Amino acid sequence: MACTTILVGKNASYDGSTIIARNEDSQQGEFTSKKFVVVKPEDQPRHYRSVISHVEIDLPDDPLQYTAVPDAVNKQGIWGEAGVNEANVAMSATETLTTNERVIGADPFVELTPARGKEGEDGYEPEIPGGIGEEDLLTIVLPYIRSAREGVERLGALLEEYGTYEMNGIAFSDVNEIWWLETVGGHHWIAKRVPDDAYVTMPNQLGIDEFDIDDALGDQEEHMCSADLREFIDDNHLDLAVEPVSPLNPRDMFGSHSDRDHVYNTPRAWYMQRFLNPYDEVWDGPDAAHRPDSDDIPWARQPERKITIEDVKYVLSSHYQGTPYDPYGTLGDESTRGSLRPIGINRQSQLAVMQIRPYRPESCRSIQWIAYGSNAFNTLVPFYANVDVTPAYFADTTDHVDSGNFYWANRIIAALADAHFAATSSLIDRYREKTGGLGHRMLAAADEQVVRLDTNPVDLDDLADEEEAVDDVRDADAIIAAVRNPEVRGILAAANQTLSDQVKTETDALLSDVLYTASMNMRNDFHLSDN
Protein backbone atom coordinates (compact mmCIF):
# COMPACT_ATOMS: atom_id res chain seq x y z
CA MET A 1 0.00 0.00 0.00
CA ALA A 2 1.63 3.25 -1.14
CA CYS A 3 1.26 6.31 1.11
CA THR A 4 2.96 9.55 2.15
CA THR A 5 3.25 10.81 5.74
CA ILE A 6 4.17 14.11 7.40
CA LEU A 7 4.46 14.60 11.17
CA VAL A 8 4.65 18.06 12.76
CA GLY A 9 5.94 18.58 16.30
CA LYS A 10 4.08 20.95 18.60
CA ASN A 11 6.70 23.71 18.45
CA ALA A 12 6.87 23.48 14.66
CA SER A 13 3.11 23.87 14.12
CA TYR A 14 1.32 27.19 13.75
CA ASP A 15 -0.76 26.86 16.94
CA GLY A 16 1.19 24.51 19.21
CA SER A 17 -0.76 21.43 18.12
CA THR A 18 0.76 18.07 17.40
CA ILE A 19 -0.17 17.13 13.83
CA ILE A 20 0.11 13.71 12.15
CA ALA A 21 -1.06 13.29 8.55
CA ARG A 22 -0.98 10.62 5.89
CA ASN A 23 -2.28 9.93 2.41
CA GLU A 24 -3.73 6.45 2.06
CA ASP A 25 -3.13 5.41 -1.55
CA SER A 26 -4.65 2.37 -3.22
CA GLN A 27 -2.44 -0.22 -4.82
CA GLN A 28 -1.53 0.21 -8.46
CA GLY A 29 -4.56 -0.34 -10.69
CA GLU A 30 -7.05 -0.14 -7.82
CA PHE A 31 -9.33 2.39 -6.16
CA THR A 32 -10.61 1.88 -2.61
CA SER A 33 -13.68 3.80 -1.47
CA LYS A 34 -13.53 5.04 2.14
CA LYS A 35 -15.88 6.23 4.87
CA PHE A 36 -15.42 8.24 8.10
CA VAL A 37 -17.04 6.60 11.13
CA VAL A 38 -17.16 6.40 14.92
CA VAL A 39 -16.58 2.98 16.48
CA LYS A 40 -18.38 2.68 19.82
CA PRO A 41 -17.17 0.35 22.59
CA GLU A 42 -20.10 -2.02 22.10
CA ASP A 43 -19.23 -2.37 18.41
CA GLN A 44 -15.56 -3.12 18.99
CA PRO A 45 -14.75 -6.85 18.60
CA ARG A 46 -13.57 -8.76 21.67
CA HIS A 47 -12.11 -11.50 19.49
CA TYR A 48 -10.47 -10.33 16.29
CA ARG A 49 -9.73 -12.35 13.15
CA SER A 50 -7.81 -10.90 10.22
CA VAL A 51 -9.21 -11.43 6.73
CA ILE A 52 -5.80 -11.43 5.04
CA SER A 53 -3.61 -13.37 7.48
CA HIS A 54 -6.29 -15.25 9.49
CA VAL A 55 -4.46 -14.32 12.71
CA GLU A 56 -6.79 -14.40 15.73
CA ILE A 57 -6.36 -12.12 18.75
CA ASP A 58 -8.34 -11.80 21.97
CA LEU A 59 -8.82 -8.11 22.68
CA PRO A 60 -9.31 -6.37 26.06
CA ASP A 61 -12.86 -5.86 27.30
CA ASP A 62 -12.53 -2.12 27.99
CA PRO A 63 -12.12 -0.39 24.61
CA LEU A 64 -12.39 3.36 24.18
CA GLN A 65 -14.59 4.93 21.52
CA TYR A 66 -12.60 6.07 18.48
CA THR A 67 -12.90 7.40 14.94
CA ALA A 68 -11.67 5.52 11.88
CA VAL A 69 -11.58 5.71 8.08
CA PRO A 70 -12.23 2.09 7.07
CA ASP A 71 -12.89 0.67 3.64
CA ALA A 72 -16.47 1.25 2.51
CA VAL A 73 -16.69 -2.43 1.60
CA ASN A 74 -14.83 -4.84 3.89
CA LYS A 75 -13.79 -7.39 1.28
CA GLN A 76 -10.20 -7.33 2.56
CA GLY A 77 -10.94 -6.46 6.18
CA ILE A 78 -11.46 -3.23 8.10
CA TRP A 79 -8.42 -1.10 7.20
CA GLY A 80 -9.28 1.55 9.81
CA GLU A 81 -6.22 3.64 8.85
CA ALA A 82 -6.55 6.79 10.98
CA GLY A 83 -8.42 7.97 14.04
CA VAL A 84 -8.56 9.58 17.48
CA ASN A 85 -9.77 7.87 20.66
CA GLU A 86 -11.52 9.16 23.79
CA ALA A 87 -8.19 9.79 25.53
CA ASN A 88 -7.32 12.28 22.78
CA VAL A 89 -4.68 9.96 21.34
CA ALA A 90 -4.37 9.73 17.56
CA MET A 91 -2.97 6.96 15.38
CA SER A 92 -2.10 6.71 11.68
CA ALA A 93 -1.51 3.22 10.30
CA THR A 94 0.27 2.62 8.08
CA GLU A 95 3.04 3.93 5.86
CA THR A 96 4.32 0.97 3.84
CA LEU A 97 8.12 0.79 4.08
CA THR A 98 10.92 -0.74 2.05
CA THR A 99 13.59 -3.03 3.44
CA ASN A 100 16.40 -5.25 2.15
CA GLU A 101 17.17 -8.90 1.69
CA ARG A 102 19.47 -9.13 4.73
CA VAL A 103 16.70 -8.07 7.09
CA ILE A 104 14.10 -10.38 5.55
CA GLY A 105 16.56 -13.26 5.70
CA ALA A 106 17.38 -12.60 9.34
CA ASP A 107 13.77 -12.16 10.49
CA PRO A 108 11.35 -13.45 7.83
CA PHE A 109 7.86 -12.03 7.50
CA VAL A 110 5.11 -14.07 9.15
CA GLU A 111 2.93 -14.99 6.18
CA LEU A 112 -0.20 -17.12 6.01
CA THR A 113 0.51 -20.73 5.07
CA PRO A 114 -2.65 -22.23 3.50
CA ALA A 115 -3.87 -25.66 4.52
CA ARG A 116 -2.81 -28.61 2.40
CA GLY A 117 -5.15 -31.45 1.56
CA LYS A 118 -8.47 -32.09 3.23
CA GLU A 119 -9.06 -32.38 6.94
CA GLY A 120 -9.37 -36.02 7.97
CA GLU A 121 -7.36 -37.32 5.02
CA ASP A 122 -3.77 -38.57 5.08
CA GLY A 123 -1.21 -35.83 4.61
CA TYR A 124 -3.51 -33.04 5.72
CA GLU A 125 -1.67 -30.00 7.07
CA PRO A 126 -3.73 -27.26 8.74
CA GLU A 127 -3.15 -23.65 7.80
CA ILE A 128 -0.70 -21.55 9.79
CA PRO A 129 -1.95 -17.98 10.31
CA GLY A 130 0.19 -15.05 9.35
CA GLY A 131 1.04 -11.99 11.40
CA ILE A 132 -0.61 -8.59 11.76
CA GLY A 133 -0.59 -5.86 9.11
CA GLU A 134 -2.16 -2.63 7.95
CA GLU A 135 -5.60 -4.24 7.78
CA ASP A 136 -5.54 -4.84 11.53
CA LEU A 137 -3.42 -2.29 13.35
CA LEU A 138 -5.80 0.57 14.12
CA THR A 139 -8.50 -1.81 15.34
CA ILE A 140 -6.27 -3.77 17.70
CA VAL A 141 -4.28 -0.82 19.09
CA LEU A 142 -6.08 2.56 19.12
CA PRO A 143 -9.04 1.64 21.42
CA TYR A 144 -6.66 0.52 24.19
CA ILE A 145 -4.07 3.30 24.56
CA ARG A 146 -4.05 6.47 26.66
CA SER A 147 -0.92 8.17 25.35
CA ALA A 148 1.27 8.14 22.26
CA ARG A 149 3.96 6.29 24.19
CA GLU A 150 1.44 3.61 25.21
CA GLY A 151 0.64 3.18 21.52
CA VAL A 152 4.26 2.27 20.80
CA GLU A 153 4.38 -0.09 23.76
CA ARG A 154 1.19 -1.93 22.83
CA LEU A 155 2.00 -2.26 19.14
CA GLY A 156 5.58 -3.30 19.91
CA ALA A 157 4.33 -6.10 22.17
CA LEU A 158 1.85 -7.30 19.52
CA LEU A 159 4.57 -7.33 16.85
CA GLU A 160 6.84 -9.40 19.05
CA GLU A 161 4.05 -11.87 19.85
CA TYR A 162 2.32 -12.25 16.48
CA GLY A 163 4.82 -10.89 13.96
CA THR A 164 3.96 -9.07 10.74
CA TYR A 165 3.85 -9.96 7.06
CA GLU A 166 4.96 -6.51 5.83
CA MET A 167 7.13 -3.50 6.68
CA ASN A 168 5.17 -0.55 8.05
CA GLY A 169 5.58 2.84 9.73
CA ILE A 170 2.97 3.92 12.29
CA ALA A 171 2.44 7.32 13.95
CA PHE A 172 0.99 7.99 17.41
CA SER A 173 0.27 11.42 18.89
CA ASP A 174 -1.19 13.02 21.97
CA VAL A 175 -1.25 16.69 22.93
CA ASN A 176 2.41 16.63 23.94
CA GLU A 177 4.23 13.98 21.90
CA ILE A 178 4.47 12.30 18.52
CA TRP A 179 6.09 8.88 18.22
CA TRP A 180 6.99 7.09 14.99
CA LEU A 181 7.36 3.28 14.92
CA GLU A 182 8.95 1.29 12.10
CA THR A 183 8.79 -2.48 11.79
CA VAL A 184 12.02 -4.30 11.01
CA GLY A 185 11.52 -7.75 9.51
CA GLY A 186 8.91 -10.10 10.93
CA HIS A 187 9.14 -9.37 14.67
CA HIS A 188 11.51 -6.48 15.33
CA TRP A 189 10.75 -2.76 15.57
CA ILE A 190 12.19 0.63 16.41
CA ALA A 191 10.44 3.83 17.50
CA LYS A 192 11.57 7.43 17.87
CA ARG A 193 9.97 10.52 19.39
CA VAL A 194 9.54 13.30 16.83
CA PRO A 195 11.45 16.41 17.98
CA ASP A 196 9.01 19.10 19.13
CA ASP A 197 10.59 21.75 16.89
CA ALA A 198 10.75 19.59 13.76
CA TYR A 199 8.67 17.93 11.07
CA VAL A 200 9.18 14.46 9.58
CA THR A 201 8.66 13.36 5.96
CA MET A 202 8.00 9.70 5.13
CA PRO A 203 7.65 8.47 1.51
CA ASN A 204 7.30 4.66 1.65
CA GLN A 205 10.89 4.15 2.77
CA LEU A 206 12.27 3.16 6.13
CA GLY A 207 13.05 6.65 7.31
CA ILE A 208 14.71 6.97 10.73
CA ASP A 209 18.33 7.97 10.09
CA GLU A 210 19.62 8.39 13.67
CA PHE A 211 18.83 6.03 16.53
CA ASP A 212 20.22 5.94 20.07
CA ILE A 213 20.02 2.26 20.93
CA ASP A 214 21.39 2.86 24.44
CA ASP A 215 18.41 5.12 25.18
CA ALA A 216 16.02 2.63 23.54
CA LEU A 217 17.27 -0.21 25.75
CA GLY A 218 17.64 2.05 28.79
CA ASP A 219 15.69 5.13 29.85
CA GLN A 220 13.60 5.25 26.64
CA GLU A 221 13.35 9.04 26.74
CA GLU A 222 13.37 9.51 22.96
CA HIS A 223 13.77 5.98 21.56
CA MET A 224 12.24 2.52 22.01
CA CYS A 225 12.82 -0.84 20.32
CA SER A 226 12.33 -4.59 20.56
CA ALA A 227 14.26 -6.02 23.50
CA ASP A 228 16.81 -8.01 21.47
CA LEU A 229 17.53 -5.39 18.81
CA ARG A 230 21.24 -5.09 19.62
CA GLU A 231 21.76 -8.84 19.31
CA PHE A 232 19.66 -8.90 16.14
CA ILE A 233 21.92 -6.29 14.55
CA ASP A 234 25.17 -7.87 15.70
CA ASP A 235 24.29 -11.50 14.99
CA ASN A 236 23.19 -10.71 11.43
CA HIS A 237 25.89 -8.17 10.55
CA LEU A 238 23.35 -5.45 9.78
CA ASP A 239 25.40 -2.42 10.88
CA LEU A 240 27.09 -1.07 7.75
CA ALA A 241 29.10 1.70 9.43
CA VAL A 242 32.81 1.56 8.51
CA GLU A 243 33.71 2.54 12.06
CA PRO A 244 31.60 2.20 15.23
CA VAL A 245 29.29 5.22 15.49
CA SER A 246 26.56 6.44 17.81
CA PRO A 247 23.76 7.06 17.09
CA LEU A 248 23.13 4.21 14.67
CA ASN A 249 21.71 4.71 11.16
CA PRO A 250 18.66 2.40 10.83
CA ARG A 251 18.05 3.58 7.27
CA ASP A 252 21.37 2.04 6.20
CA MET A 253 20.87 -1.12 8.27
CA PHE A 254 17.22 -1.91 7.68
CA GLY A 255 16.18 0.14 4.62
CA SER A 256 16.75 0.22 0.88
CA HIS A 257 18.57 2.44 -1.62
CA SER A 258 17.30 1.02 -4.88
CA ASP A 259 16.90 2.60 -8.30
CA ARG A 260 13.16 2.30 -7.79
CA ASP A 261 13.42 4.40 -4.62
CA HIS A 262 14.93 7.22 -6.66
CA VAL A 263 11.82 7.63 -8.81
CA TYR A 264 9.17 6.40 -6.38
CA ASN A 265 10.19 7.43 -2.85
CA THR A 266 13.04 9.88 -2.32
CA PRO A 267 11.60 12.55 -4.69
CA ARG A 268 8.58 12.94 -2.40
CA ALA A 269 10.74 13.71 0.67
CA TRP A 270 12.81 16.06 -1.51
CA TYR A 271 9.78 18.03 -2.64
CA MET A 272 8.16 18.30 0.80
CA GLN A 273 11.35 19.58 2.38
CA ARG A 274 12.04 21.85 -0.60
CA PHE A 275 8.66 23.51 0.06
CA LEU A 276 8.98 23.77 3.85
CA ASN A 277 12.67 24.83 3.85
CA PRO A 278 13.13 26.69 0.56
CA TYR A 279 16.06 28.84 1.71
CA ASP A 280 18.02 26.53 3.99
CA GLU A 281 19.86 24.94 1.10
CA VAL A 282 20.07 24.77 -2.68
CA TRP A 283 17.49 22.28 -3.94
CA ASP A 284 17.87 22.53 -7.73
CA GLY A 285 20.65 22.34 -10.30
CA PRO A 286 24.18 20.95 -10.15
CA ASP A 287 24.91 22.61 -6.79
CA ALA A 288 21.91 21.11 -5.01
CA ALA A 289 22.64 19.75 -1.55
CA HIS A 290 19.85 17.20 -2.03
CA ARG A 291 18.31 16.02 -5.27
CA PRO A 292 15.22 13.85 -5.94
CA ASP A 293 17.45 10.76 -5.98
CA SER A 294 19.40 11.54 -2.79
CA ASP A 295 19.48 8.77 -0.19
CA ASP A 296 20.46 11.10 2.68
CA ILE A 297 17.47 13.46 2.83
CA PRO A 298 16.95 14.02 6.59
CA TRP A 299 14.18 12.18 8.40
CA ALA A 300 13.43 15.22 10.57
CA ARG A 301 14.10 18.91 9.91
CA GLN A 302 13.26 22.19 11.59
CA PRO A 303 11.05 24.28 9.28
CA GLU A 304 11.86 27.86 8.29
CA ARG A 305 8.44 28.99 9.53
CA LYS A 306 5.59 27.45 11.51
CA ILE A 307 3.63 24.82 9.56
CA THR A 308 -0.12 25.22 9.01
CA ILE A 309 -2.86 22.76 8.15
CA GLU A 310 -2.88 24.31 4.67
CA ASP A 311 0.85 23.57 4.32
CA VAL A 312 0.20 19.94 5.24
CA LYS A 313 -2.55 19.74 2.63
CA TYR A 314 -0.34 21.38 0.00
CA VAL A 315 2.62 19.05 0.38
CA LEU A 316 0.39 15.96 0.52
CA SER A 317 -1.36 17.13 -2.68
CA SER A 318 1.75 18.11 -4.59
CA HIS A 319 2.79 16.92 -8.02
CA TYR A 320 6.17 18.71 -8.19
CA GLN A 321 4.74 22.14 -9.02
CA GLY A 322 7.41 24.58 -10.17
CA THR A 323 9.81 21.83 -11.25
CA PRO A 324 10.46 19.99 -14.55
CA TYR A 325 8.79 16.90 -13.02
CA ASP A 326 5.23 18.30 -12.83
CA PRO A 327 2.97 16.20 -15.12
CA TYR A 328 0.67 19.25 -15.46
CA GLY A 329 3.50 21.78 -15.86
CA THR A 330 5.25 23.54 -18.72
CA LEU A 331 8.81 23.23 -17.43
CA GLY A 332 11.07 20.43 -18.59
CA ASP A 333 10.04 18.12 -21.42
CA GLU A 334 8.33 14.78 -21.99
CA SER A 335 11.32 12.94 -20.50
CA THR A 336 10.96 14.72 -17.14
CA ARG A 337 7.24 15.50 -16.76
CA GLY A 338 5.63 12.58 -15.01
CA SER A 339 8.92 10.76 -14.56
CA LEU A 340 8.68 10.83 -10.74
CA ARG A 341 5.89 9.41 -8.60
CA PRO A 342 3.70 12.35 -7.44
CA ILE A 343 2.53 12.76 -3.85
CA GLY A 344 -0.95 13.82 -4.98
CA ILE A 345 -1.56 10.76 -7.14
CA ASN A 346 -4.70 9.59 -8.95
CA ARG A 347 -5.27 6.52 -6.73
CA GLN A 348 -5.44 8.37 -3.42
CA SER A 349 -8.14 6.89 -1.17
CA GLN A 350 -8.17 9.38 1.68
CA LEU A 351 -6.10 11.91 3.56
CA ALA A 352 -6.42 12.12 7.35
CA VAL A 353 -4.84 14.93 9.36
CA MET A 354 -5.13 14.54 13.15
CA GLN A 355 -4.63 17.80 15.04
CA ILE A 356 -4.60 17.82 18.86
CA ARG A 357 -4.88 21.38 20.16
CA PRO A 358 -3.43 22.24 23.60
CA TYR A 359 -5.43 25.48 23.98
CA ARG A 360 -8.92 23.94 23.84
CA PRO A 361 -10.87 21.89 26.43
CA GLU A 362 -10.33 18.15 26.30
CA SER A 363 -13.86 17.64 25.01
CA CYS A 364 -13.20 19.53 21.75
CA ARG A 365 -9.42 19.26 21.58
CA SER A 366 -9.03 16.70 18.79
CA ILE A 367 -9.78 17.47 15.14
CA GLN A 368 -9.68 14.93 12.32
CA TRP A 369 -9.40 16.62 8.94
CA ILE A 370 -10.67 14.47 6.05
CA ALA A 371 -10.19 14.48 2.28
CA TYR A 372 -11.17 11.77 -0.20
CA GLY A 373 -9.86 10.96 -3.66
CA SER A 374 -6.94 12.55 -5.52
CA ASN A 375 -5.56 15.37 -3.39
CA ALA A 376 -4.66 17.52 -6.38
CA PHE A 377 -8.41 18.10 -6.93
CA ASN A 378 -10.05 17.90 -3.49
CA THR A 379 -10.40 19.83 -0.24
CA LEU A 380 -9.64 19.08 3.41
CA VAL A 381 -12.56 19.23 5.86
CA PRO A 382 -12.22 19.43 9.69
CA PHE A 383 -14.41 17.36 11.99
CA TYR A 384 -14.50 17.03 15.74
CA ALA A 385 -13.49 13.52 16.77
CA ASN A 386 -15.46 13.53 20.02
CA VAL A 387 -18.88 12.71 18.55
CA ASP A 388 -21.21 9.73 18.51
CA VAL A 389 -21.99 9.92 14.79
CA THR A 390 -20.34 11.33 11.65
CA PRO A 391 -22.18 13.09 8.78
CA ALA A 392 -23.74 10.72 6.24
CA TYR A 393 -22.11 12.61 3.35
CA PHE A 394 -18.75 11.32 4.65
CA ALA A 395 -19.90 8.08 6.30
CA ASP A 396 -22.31 6.41 3.87
CA THR A 397 -19.88 5.61 1.06
CA THR A 398 -20.48 2.38 -0.87
CA ASP A 399 -18.77 0.82 -3.88
CA HIS A 400 -21.49 2.31 -6.11
CA VAL A 401 -20.58 5.55 -7.91
CA ASP A 402 -22.83 8.24 -6.46
CA SER A 403 -22.15 11.98 -6.52
CA GLY A 404 -24.38 12.26 -3.43
CA ASN A 405 -21.46 11.34 -1.18
CA PHE A 406 -18.13 13.12 -0.75
CA TYR A 407 -15.88 10.25 -1.85
CA TRP A 408 -17.44 9.68 -5.27
CA ALA A 409 -18.05 13.38 -5.92
CA ASN A 410 -14.31 13.94 -5.53
CA ARG A 411 -13.48 11.00 -7.76
CA ILE A 412 -15.68 12.39 -10.54
CA ILE A 413 -14.29 15.92 -10.20
CA ALA A 414 -10.71 14.63 -10.43
CA ALA A 415 -11.39 12.48 -13.50
CA LEU A 416 -12.97 15.44 -15.31
CA ALA A 417 -10.48 18.07 -14.17
CA ASP A 418 -7.32 16.08 -14.90
CA ALA A 419 -7.78 16.29 -18.67
CA HIS A 420 -8.57 20.02 -18.41
CA PHE A 421 -6.13 20.98 -15.68
CA ALA A 422 -5.36 24.53 -16.81
CA ALA A 423 -9.02 25.36 -17.42
CA THR A 424 -10.25 23.98 -14.08
CA SER A 425 -7.41 24.66 -11.64
CA SER A 426 -8.70 28.12 -10.68
CA LEU A 427 -12.14 26.63 -9.95
CA ILE A 428 -10.59 24.06 -7.63
CA ASP A 429 -8.38 26.66 -5.93
CA ARG A 430 -11.39 28.85 -5.14
CA TYR A 431 -13.36 25.84 -3.89
CA ARG A 432 -10.50 24.77 -1.64
CA GLU A 433 -10.11 28.28 -0.24
CA LYS A 434 -13.82 28.73 0.42
CA THR A 435 -14.35 25.35 2.07
CA GLY A 436 -11.19 25.83 4.11
CA GLY A 437 -12.52 29.12 5.39
CA LEU A 438 -15.83 27.49 6.26
CA GLY A 439 -13.96 24.82 8.21
CA HIS A 440 -11.92 27.25 10.29
CA ARG A 441 -15.01 29.35 10.95
CA MET A 442 -16.97 26.30 12.12
CA LEU A 443 -14.20 25.31 14.54
CA ALA A 444 -14.05 28.77 16.07
CA ALA A 445 -17.83 28.94 16.55
CA ALA A 446 -18.20 25.46 18.03
CA ASP A 447 -15.14 25.91 20.26
CA GLU A 448 -16.76 29.02 21.70
CA GLN A 449 -19.93 27.10 22.53
CA VAL A 450 -17.97 24.37 24.30
CA VAL A 451 -15.81 26.83 26.25
CA ARG A 452 -18.96 28.48 27.61
CA LEU A 453 -20.07 25.07 28.93
CA ASP A 454 -16.70 24.13 30.41
CA THR A 455 -16.66 25.10 34.10
CA ASN A 456 -13.04 24.05 34.70
CA PRO A 457 -10.98 24.54 31.53
CA VAL A 458 -7.26 23.83 31.45
CA ASP A 459 -5.50 27.14 30.68
CA LEU A 460 -1.90 26.42 29.84
CA ASP A 461 -1.04 30.13 29.75
CA ASP A 462 -1.94 30.46 33.45
CA LEU A 463 0.35 27.64 34.55
CA ALA A 464 3.91 28.69 35.32
CA ASP A 465 5.43 25.27 34.98
CA GLU A 466 4.99 23.75 31.51
CA GLU A 467 5.74 20.27 32.79
CA GLU A 468 2.97 20.65 35.38
CA ALA A 469 0.64 21.64 32.54
CA VAL A 470 1.54 18.56 30.55
CA ASP A 471 0.97 16.29 33.54
CA ASP A 472 -2.43 17.90 34.09
CA VAL A 473 -3.41 17.53 30.45
CA ARG A 474 -2.38 13.86 30.27
CA ASP A 475 -4.51 12.61 33.19
CA ALA A 476 -6.17 9.98 31.02
CA ASP A 477 -9.10 9.22 33.31
CA ALA A 478 -9.95 12.92 33.63
CA ILE A 479 -9.67 13.35 29.87
CA ILE A 480 -12.04 10.46 29.17
CA ALA A 481 -14.56 11.75 31.69
CA ALA A 482 -14.51 15.22 30.12
CA VAL A 483 -14.75 13.84 26.61
CA ARG A 484 -17.86 11.78 27.46
CA ASN A 485 -20.00 14.87 28.14
CA PRO A 486 -23.15 14.16 26.07
CA GLU A 487 -24.09 17.84 25.77
CA VAL A 488 -20.71 18.67 24.28
CA ARG A 489 -20.88 15.69 21.93
CA GLY A 490 -24.25 16.94 20.69
CA ILE A 491 -22.85 20.41 19.99
CA LEU A 492 -19.84 19.00 18.12
CA ALA A 493 -21.92 16.56 16.07
CA ALA A 494 -24.26 19.39 15.06
CA ALA A 495 -21.27 21.53 14.04
CA ASN A 496 -19.86 18.64 11.99
CA GLN A 497 -23.21 18.21 10.25
CA THR A 498 -23.56 21.90 9.46
CA LEU A 499 -20.10 21.99 7.90
CA SER A 500 -20.82 18.78 5.97
CA ASP A 501 -23.95 20.37 4.50
CA GLN A 502 -21.98 23.47 3.49
CA VAL A 503 -19.22 21.39 1.93
CA LYS A 504 -21.76 19.36 -0.03
CA THR A 505 -23.26 22.56 -1.47
CA GLU A 506 -19.84 23.79 -2.55
CA THR A 507 -18.77 20.39 -3.89
CA ASP A 508 -21.95 20.05 -5.96
CA ALA A 509 -21.31 23.53 -7.38
CA LEU A 510 -17.70 22.63 -8.24
CA LEU A 511 -18.82 19.42 -9.93
CA SER A 512 -21.25 21.41 -12.08
CA ASP A 513 -18.57 23.96 -13.01
CA VAL A 514 -15.95 21.32 -13.83
CA LEU A 515 -18.45 19.30 -15.86
CA TYR A 516 -19.45 22.38 -17.84
CA THR A 517 -15.81 23.38 -18.47
CA ALA A 518 -14.84 19.88 -19.56
CA SER A 519 -17.92 19.58 -21.80
CA MET A 520 -17.11 22.83 -23.59
CA ASN A 521 -13.65 21.47 -24.39
CA MET A 522 -14.74 18.14 -25.86
CA ARG A 523 -12.98 17.29 -29.11
CA ASN A 524 -16.21 16.86 -31.05
CA ASP A 525 -17.00 20.56 -30.64
CA PHE A 526 -17.53 22.51 -33.89
CA HIS A 527 -17.20 26.25 -34.13
CA LEU A 528 -19.80 27.03 -36.79
CA SER A 529 -22.90 28.53 -35.19
CA ASP A 530 -26.18 26.61 -35.30
CA ASN A 531 -28.10 29.89 -35.33
Buried b (16+ CB within 10 A) or exposed e, 346-382: bbbbbbbbbbbbbebbbbbbbbbbbbbbbbbbbbbbb
The answer to whether residue 3 is catalytic is yes
3-state secondary structure 208-262: CCCECHHHHCCCCCCEEECCCHHHHHHHCCCCCCCCCCCCECHHHHHCCCCCCHH
- Bridge partners (DSSP) of residue 224 are 191
Question: Under a CB-based contact definition with an 8 Å cutoff, are residues 327 and 283 in contact?
Answer: no
The active-site residue out of 1, 2, 3, 206 is 3
Q: DSSP label at 527?
A: -
Can you list the positions of beta strands (E) in 357-433? Answer: 366-372, 381-384
Question: Under a CB-based contact definition with an 8 Å cutoff, are residues 61 and 92 in contact?
Answer: no
Task: Give φ, ψ of 415 to 5 degrees.
Answer: -65, -35
Question: Under a CB-based contact definition with an 8 Å cutoff, are residues 19 and 313 in contact?
Answer: no
Q: DSSP label at 306?
A: P
CA torsion sign for 475, 481, 482, 484 is positive
Catalytic residues: 3
